[in-house]
Chain A
Amino acid sequence: MGVWQSYRLRLQRRRWRIRAFRKRRDLRAIANRTDQIKPSDILVVSTARNEGVRLPYFLNYYREMGVDHFLIVDNDSTDGSLDYLAKQPDVSVWTTRASYKRARFGVDWMNWLQMKYGHDHWCLVVDPDELFLYPFCDTRPIRALTDWLDASSIKSFGAMLLDMYPKGRIDSEPYLPGRNPLDIAAWFDAGNYTISKNPKYGNLWIQGGPRARMFFTDEPERAPALNKIPLVKWNRRYAYHSSTHTLLPRGLNLVYDEWGGEKASGVLLHTKFLDTFSHKAQEELERRQHYGGSKEYLAYASGLKENPDLWCKWSEKYINWRQLEILGLMSKGNWA
């Protein structure tokens, strides 16, 4: 990469940071408990809209993992999630009625909160329907991972998005608050992911899974990106570029090994496909607040009417992280 390209990326990063700074005015603090954050705390940063039903499980899942504090932007929910979040002792919550799309799909808000509160902390950016898995997550808290990353001088940790789905119709079993969504959406595609490298930002671009298989057979290039880098030892000079897929400076995107070895990586179990989905797809379609003119939701809405079953004979049932490691979806790297 030449000096010119490098300079341009630097400018772009500055632009995203200035933008995040300006978008701070979108956010109104409802419960700001950030004074509780201690220097070594691990933070979860998230945006939610009408995810009330998922929040109890979501918060508990990450609390048990050892996350110390949650920074959540509630984007104009109408289901009472704001009140629920404001009552939690370890949650700081902001509300906004501003456009999700004009905040670059929430990225500006995330960048701002991390710039302000996440400096020098390990920050995990996840949506309420994403469950983070890392090697040994069943026996070691997340601090074991971040300590190890610190000791290895690693600043960012990749975790691919793995779409989970139920067997049978998506709406056949209702999801209730507090329940493990993986009880219902227990299945995933093990080996149909395509990868290419983005030369400009240095990140891998991963597509595939049930969404590509079911909804994007006509235009595979439009299938959603599954590569994510959710866990970063944040510095106020960093910026997420496009969702959590890409970061700047671009060195943070190098979460993969290029010389044949495997770096450690995790998985984000994406439990989007529950009974709440069809409703959500319809709503999002009306709001048109999602990426690429909500093409994704258009595709779902038509795909789901025809055949709402994502399950196939070769779907794999989720057991634990070791299974995903053996299948090659994540890796222990040299962490043992």
Chain B
Amino acid sequence: MSVGIVMLVHTALGRAVQVARHWARAGCPIVIHVDKKVPTQAFEAFREQLIDDPLIRFSKRHRCEWGSWGLVAATQDACELMLAANKDVRHVYLASGSCLPLRPVEELKDYLASRSNVDFIESATTADVPWTVGGLDEERFTMWFPFSWRNQRYLFDKFVEFQRRLGLERRIPDGITPHMGSQWWCLTRQTLSAILQDPRRPKYDRYFKSVWIPDESYFQTLARLYSTNIESRSLTLSKFDFQGKPHIFYDDHLKLLRRSDCFVARKIWPHAERLYDAFLGDRTGEANRMEPNPGKIDRIFAKAVERRTRGRAGLYMQSRWPNYGWENGVSAGKYSVFQGFAELFTEFEPWLSRATGVQVHGHIFAPDRAHFAGGQRVLNGALSDNAALRDYNPRSFLTNLIWNTRGERQCFQYGPHDNPKINWHFARDPNAQISVISGAWAVPLFKSNRDFADLRTEAAALQKIEARMLDELRHPDAKAQTRIWTMAEFIEAPMEPLQLLIDEIGQKPSRRLAEAPRLEDLTGFGQFLQNLKNQGMHPHLMGDFPVEPAPRHGQRPARKPYLVKK
């Protein structure tokens, strides 16, 4: 009882010699197929190195183009030779020249001996697998593929399209159901010889010759006809990335490969000295009877593919520059934008900071500079507060700020004084929580001691800008979580919305607000608005403000007469 190795070799012949010797040392018969594309001289030199070993044979050479029939033909010939020349071989293991045995060969032998009638071949129907490249799954069995995908891509694509359009369909031979799976399998003599000696084989071969990537479906399909006991998994650890090419193992994967407990891994970088030394060296004394467990490696490679296809949300950098709408996260984390709050309440920022425990900035898009929390001139990531640098690319400024402080929620103030270019970027960002008290910009004007004519001009300008901002926030494509109150609405009952916002920021456990922010003294504000109106400017964003009396929640709440004082 033993296992025979069929090795398909096309590059890194030096490594193939090493691996073949390794198998042979353990007493495994080997049949090597060398791609016909390898120059004769190189092939002869390669054979010269191994010819002295009676366990090693060479099979008829075929030209192996990726995804073509050649690979199957090569495998067939090599397996026939293997079965004919080694009567005691019970399992045939298909490996490549860049495969590396990770565990002592004895363990593989024992493992297979105790599963003497099991065929290890990954084999699934096309409907059930997500790993097809190029969008062809079912169709690879029902179309003709006379052109090479690698070298004649244009013709390949055109011909596929042509067949789709005409609805051409090839008949699948009776009795077989197309299956696909990893090219690297381990079959029993029984199953393999049944496939190779089947009287219908010429018919099947003819069919599979024009299936696309037959090396992933020929044996996978036919094994289903004869095997009594299929384990649909490959004993070879082989991971594919999103382009369908195998991940490569390097020296730094040594620990990972050791812990995987897989029998064979592919594919190994030919210059990975440490791996070859470690796994082909003397391994006596290492006892290991574990089942293969490639979970950890799976996760690492799955993550790599995700990094390549989805990237890190909110990151804009030299190799990730998503087109508009393809950001997969406009920014790296949640943040809150407050418009009008700092104007309406005195000391709003410190209050918010106390209430939520998060970093609260001032107007970071203010015309003079970015007002970072605590008056800092530079923030995380060495982000400068310089207005010119910021306004040169406000979007980068915002995404940088959020990326640099990821994991820490940011709050900042915004308003019609500030750089308006950034407004749309908040508006379309689902991470933004935007709260606007419209018209609150009038409070500082009202408090200021300036000529009324100036105030009137400025009020008109600010109102126009804010109206445009609100339009953007209400745009159907806006995705931010936006709340807009008119000022009149807000001061009716300020605590409710504040409680809501703070609960949403949700840093501290939710409880009733212990301390309310102090509202600016608005006595006379109604009259101020009326004056603006009288001057022909129509302030509408703050809602309906009565001229008199002063708002209810003003500075001097009426003392509750029933409050008992000690």
Which residues of A are interface residues toward B (Cβ below 8 A)? Answer: 136, 139-141, 143-144, 147-148, 151-152, 158-160, 189-197, 204, 206, 208, 210, 212-213, 216-221, 227, 255-265, 312-316, 328-336
Contact = CB atoms under 8 A, between A and B. Distances in A.
A151 B248 contact: yes
Interface of B: 241-243, 245, 247-248, 250-252, 269, 271, 300-301, 303-305, 307-312, 315-323, 326-328, 376, 378-384, 386, 388-389, 392-393, 396-397, 400, 403-404
Contacts of B327: 260
A262 B320 contact: yes
Nearest to A189: B382
Contact of A328 (B242, B301, B315, B380): B315
A42 to B, nearest CB: 13
Contact of B389 (A140, A217, A263, A329): A217
A38 to B, nearest CB: 15
Nearest to A331: B319
Contact of A195 (B304, B311, B321, B404): B321
B384 A258 contact: no
Nearest to B319: A265
Contacts of A314: 378-383
B384 A217 contact: yes
6 contacts: A192-B389, A193-B317, A206-B318, A257-B311, A260-B309, A260-B326
Given A190-B382, A312-B378, A217 B300 contact: no
B311 A262 contact: yes
Contacts of A140: 250-252
Nearest to B252: A139
Contacts of A206: 318
B381 A189 contact: yes
Nearest to B383: A192
Contact of B319 (A190, A192, A256): A256
Q: Kindly list the 9 A-B residue pairs having the minimum CB-CB distance in the complex, ordered from nearest.
A: A191-B381, A334-B308, A265-B319, A336-B304, A260-B328, A194-B393, A220-B392, A189-B382, A194-B396
A322 to B, nearest CB: 12
Given A192-B389, A260-B322, 19 more contacts: A147-B248, A158-B318, A158-B319, A192-B383, A194-B389, A195-B317, A217-B386, A218-B388, A220-B392, A227-B318, A257-B322, A260-B327, A262-B307, A329-B318, A330-B318, A331-B319, A332-B307, A334-B241, A335-B304
A190 B305 CA distance: 25
A262 B319 contact: yes
B312 A217 contact: no
A259 B381 contact: no
Nearest to B270: A147
Contact of B311 (A152, A261, A316): A261
Most central of B319, B327, B380, B389 by chain A CB within 10 Å:
B319
Contact of B317 (A197, A213, A316, A329): A329
Given A144-B250, A257-B321, A336 B301 contact: yes
Nearest to B387: A217
Contact of B320 (A148, A194, A221, A263): A263
Contacts of B380: 190-191, 314
Nearest to A310: B382
A194 B397 contact: yes
B382 A331 contact: no
Nearest to A196: B393
A263 B252 contact: no
Contacts of B388: 217-220
Nearest to A220: B392
Contact of B307 (A148, A195, A333): A333
A336 B318 contact: no
Given A136-B250, A262-B311, A328-B315, A334 B320 contact: no
A144 B296 CA distance: 22
A64 B65 CA distance: 36
B321 A256 contact: yes
A192 B382 contact: yes
A265 B320 CA distance: 9
A195 B252 contact: no
Contact of A261 (B309, B382, B392, B397): B309
A199 B376 CA distance: 36
Contacts of B315: 262, 328
Contact of B308 (A194, A258, A263): A263
A147 B320 contact: no
Contacts of B271: 141, 143-144, 147
A265 B393 CA distance: 23
A206 B321 CA distance: 11
B244 to A, nearest CB: 11
B37 to A, nearest CB: 16
Nearest to A209: B382
A136 B248 CA distance: 13
Contacts of B248: 147-148, 151
Given A147-B269, A221-B392, A312 B319 contact: no
Contacts of B318: 158-160, 195, 204, 206, 227, 255-256, 265, 329-330
B321 A312 contact: no
Q: Give the one of A160, A255, A334 with max B CB within 10 A.
A: A334
Contacts of B393: 194-196, 220
Given A194-B393, A331-B307, A256 B320 contact: yes
A148 B246 CA distance: 11
A335 B304 CA distance: 6
B278 to A, nearest CB: 14
Nearest to A139: B252
Contacts of B311: 257, 260-262, 331
B245 A151 contact: yes
Contacts of A227: 318
Residue with the highest number of chain A CB atoms closer than 10 Å, among B317, B323, B326, B383: B317
B386 A334 contact: no
Given A144-B269, A336-B300, A336-B304, A191 B382 contact: yes
Contacts of A329: 317-318
Given A213-B386, A261-B311, A332 B326 contact: no
A197 B396 CA distance: 12
B323 A258 contact: yes
| Interface hub of A257, A265, A315, A316 (most chain B Cβ within 10 A) | A257
A152 B242 CA distance: 11
A41 to B, nearest CB: 14
B308 A139 contact: no
A143 B12 CA distance: 14
Given A191-B404, A257-B319, A260-B328, A152 B378 contact: no
Contacts of B300: 336
Contacts of B245: 151-152
A212 B392 CA distance: 11
Nearest to B314: A328
A204 B321 contact: yes
A130 to B, nearest CB: 15
